Structure 1
C-alpha cells in the first residue's frame, strides 16, 4: 500500500497569518487530502482558512491560555511540552512543518516522521546573540533568564531531532544548518511558488518595491535609510507592521510605507516595479521568487537561500544583483549598479527562473520523498523481523539484537 493510502497527520507550529510556511502546509494537504492537522494555536481569520480546505485544526492547551490570541509567542517556553501532548499514535505517517517546535512530536518506531524544516530555531542556535541584542536582553537578570530558556530550548531541540526519520530542508542553506545543529543530513525540496497568481508583466514602471514583515532580521531599516539617501528613486514598502513609527522616522518623502495590503495589491506592485529590493538573510525567501515570477528582477543581500533563487550570472540569464554586506552603503551601491546594468535583466528570464519552483513540482517531489521513506521504513521492519531473536543470538554467541 502506498504512503498516500496511509493515515497521515500534519503538524504545524501555529496558524496566525498566511506566509511561506503556511503555503507549504497548503500544498502538503493537497498531497494528502485526508490528513488531520495539529498545531499549537490557530488564529487564522476566515478569509485565510481556505488553505486548510475546511479541515478542523486540533490545537494545544496554549490556545486557551489568557491573552493567547495577542501574544501566544510569549508562551514559547511551554511549547515543547505542549507539542509533546499531541497523541499521534493512530497515524502511520507524521509530517511536521517546523521552524520551532513542531518536529518535537512523539512518534513510535513503526511510524514514519518526516520533518520539513523551514529553519532550525534561529533564536536558539546561530542567531541567539542577534536576537538578544534586538530584544534588548544583553545585560541584566532578564538576559540571564532569556539565555537559560534558550539553552533549554536548544537542548530539547537537539534531543528531539533523534525522533525524526527524514529531514527535508527548504534550501541547501537550511540543509547545512540542519547538519550543523542536529548532525543529520537533509534532502532539499524548495517550497512552492504560486506562479499562476504572480503572472509575468514585461512593462515596468519607475519605482522599487519590497514586501516583508517588519521584524528585526528583515532589516527594512536598511532599505528605508538607503532609499532616503536616493531621493530620485521611489520605494514602496508593503507588509505587516511596516507603517511603524520607527520606520517613519527614517523614511524620506520618496519612501512610502503602505503596511499590510491584500494579495491583489501586492501582486500589482510586484508586476509593475522596476526591481524588488530585499535586505534579509533568508533561509529561502518566497517573496524573492514571487517578484521574479512577475518578471521583476531582484536586488538582495547575497547570503542564505537567496543565492539559490536569484541568478547573478551569467549576464544573459541574470535575474538580479546581490550585495555582500548588510549596510546602507551596500544597498545604495547595489541600486546604482542595477541602474547601470538594468538593460541586461530580461523579464522572461526572471519568470523562467521562478518556474523552477512551481507548486506542482513541489507536490511531485514531496510525494516521491514520502513514498521512498515509507518503503524504506517497511523494508527495515522486514529486515529487523528476519534477524535472530534472543535465543538465537545467545546460540550464535552474539549480543541480543546484533
Structure 2
C-alpha cells in the first residue's frame, strides 16, 4: 500500500509538472472561442455513445444557438455535412445546423491495439496526448467529453475550459476489482491471470493504483452527467464530487418505436440482438443459449430466428463478427442465424418491428439503450441480470413483469423458451407493460434533463 501511495504521489507530481509546462506554453497565446468542443474521437462507432453525442449537440443548439458546436474526431473523412447526415440517417437525430469539425491525427494513441498490455493506463495516458492535439488546434470555452477520457480533464482545465462530461461507464469500477480479487474469468480477466495467484495479485495492485489515478483526474470535472444508477454510484465513490454529478438517462427513440404494432408474425419468430461487435457484449453466450433453446423446442413449434444487428469499429470487430459466423456453423444453427452489419436507423427499426424478443448479454452494462429500444418497439427483453438493466430498466410496471433477466446460458435459454411458448395474449400484455416503462427513457426526457444539468455551467456559475 505504501508503494502504491508513492507511485500515486509521483503520478500526481508528474501530471502537475505537465500541466504547469502546458500553462507556460499556452499562456499568453491562448485564444478561447465561445464554443463547446465535443471530444469524441470515434464518430463512426454506431453505438449508444454516438447517439448521446448527437442528442447532446442538438440539445445545446436548442439551449444556446449562439454557442458554436465543434466535434473533435479522428475520422478523417468526417465533414460538417457528413456528420449532420449521419446523425439523421443512423440515429434519427436532426441537428439544427452542422457542427464544425477538428480532425485528430494522433488517434492511434488511444487504440487498444497500441497497448497489448496495460491497456487501460496506456489508452488513458494516450488520451492526454490526443486532447493536447485537439485543444492546441481549437480551444473552446467548454470542453465536453462524451467518450469517457477522464485523464484529459486536468489538461482541459489548464487550457481554461469549463469541463463537462457524459460518463457512460467508469473506466474502472469496484466490480472489476472484485472480479480480479476473486479470480473470476472474463473478457478483461483472462485465464492466464485467473490461474495465477501472483499475477492476480499484481493485477489487483495495478487496478487499485489506476482507480486512484482515475479518481484524481475525474475530480477536475465541473459537471459530470452519468447515465444510470449503477454508473452514478461508482463515479461518486471514485471521483468524490457528488455535488457535480447529475443522472441523465441516455436518449432512446421511444416515441418513434412505440408507433410500431405490438402484434408480430407467428411463423419463424424473430429474436433480435442489437450491439456493437465488441468482446464485452458476449455474443457467443447468445448463440449458445439460442442453440440450447432450439434443441428443447417441440417439433410442432415454428423455428425461431436470431438476428444480430451491430456495427464494427475496426478490423478486430470484423474478426469477432467472422468468429461468430463460424460459431453459428459449429452449433449447427447457421440457417437460423442472420447477421446485419452497420444498418441504417430506418433498417434497424424495420428489424425491431418484426422481433418478438430482444436479447442482451453484457455483464455490468452501464445502462442498456438497446434494451430500452426492444421494450419500446414491442420486443420482450432478455437482459443480463446486472447494473443498468437490473437497476433501472427491466423492472415491473404497475405490477406487471416487463421482461426477463438472466446470467447463465441455461437461464437465457429458459427465457427464450418462455417467450416462444407464450400465448399471444400473454406476450402482448408483457410487451405493452414493457413499452409503457420505456417511456421513462425517451429522447424528450433526455433533452429536458440534459438542459437542466448544463444550464448553470453555461451561465458561468462556478464549481
TM-score band w.r.t. shorter chain: 0.7 to 0.9
- State yes or no: 1:204 paired with 2:253: no
| Distance in 2 of aligned mates of 1:26 and 1:84 | 23
Q: Distance in 2 between matches of 1:190 and 1:158?
A: 22
How many angstroms does 1:217 deviate by?
1.9
Are 1:333 and 2:395 matched, yes or no?
Answer: no
Structure 2 residue aligned with 1:107: 157
TM-score, length basis structure 2:
0.68
SS state of the match for residue 170, structure 2?
A: coil
Distance change >3 Å, CA 253–CA 38, structure 1 → 2 = closer
Q: Please, which of 41, 54, 74 is the counterpart of residue 26 of structure 1?
A: 54
Match of 2:307 in 1: 236
After superposition, residues 69-80 of structure 1 pair within 5 angstroms as 76=123, 77-80=125-128
For the pair 1:95 / 2:144, whether they are aligned, the reply is yes
* Structure 1: distance between partners of 2:76 and 2:210: 24
8 Å Cα contact 2:277/2:310 also seen in 1? yes
Counterpart contact for 1:13–1:102, Cα < 8 Å = no
Q: 1:95: how far off?
A: 2.0
Whichever structure has more helix as a proportion of its residues is: 2
Alpha-carbon contact 2:46-2:342 (below 8 Å) kept: no
1:214/1:111 CA distance change after superposition, 3 Å: closer
1:199-219 per-position Cα deviation (integer Å, ceiling 9, x unaligned): 422221322121222322212
Q: Which moved more, 1:363-372 or 1:92-101?
A: 92-101
- CA-CA distance at 1:150 after TM superposition: 6.3
Distance 2:322 2:360 in 1: 17
Please tell me whether the aligned partners of residues 119 and 283 of structure 1 are also in contact (alpha carbons under 8 angstroms): yes
Cα displacement string for residues 351-371 of structure 1 (whole angstroms, at most 9, x for unaligned residues):
332222222221221111111
> Residue 221 of structure 2 is aligned with which of 143, 148, 164?
164
Counterpart contact for 1:83–1:102, Cα < 8 Å: no
Contact 1:118–1:174 (8 Å) recurs in 2: yes
Q: Which residue among 204, 224, 247 is the counterpart of 1:188?
A: 247
Alignment map for 1:307-346 (pairs within 5 Å): 307=390, 308-312=392-396, 314-316=398-400, 318-323=401-406, 326-339=407-420, 343=426, 345-346=428-429
Deviations 1:292-348 (A, max 9, x none): 2212221112211113122345554x321223xx21111122223434556054344
CA RMSD of superposed structures (Å): 3.8
CA deviation after TM superposition for structure 1 residue 103, in Å: 5.1
Unaligned runs of 5+ in 1: 381-402
Aligned residues: 369
Gaps (5+ residues) in structure 2?
A: 1-32, 62-67, 88-94, 117-121, 181-185, 298-302, 312-317
1:276 aligns to 2:358 (yes or no): yes
1:36 CA displacement: 1.8
| Separation (CA, whole Å) in 1 of partners of 2:175 and 2:103 | 26
TM score, norm. by length of structure 1: 0.77
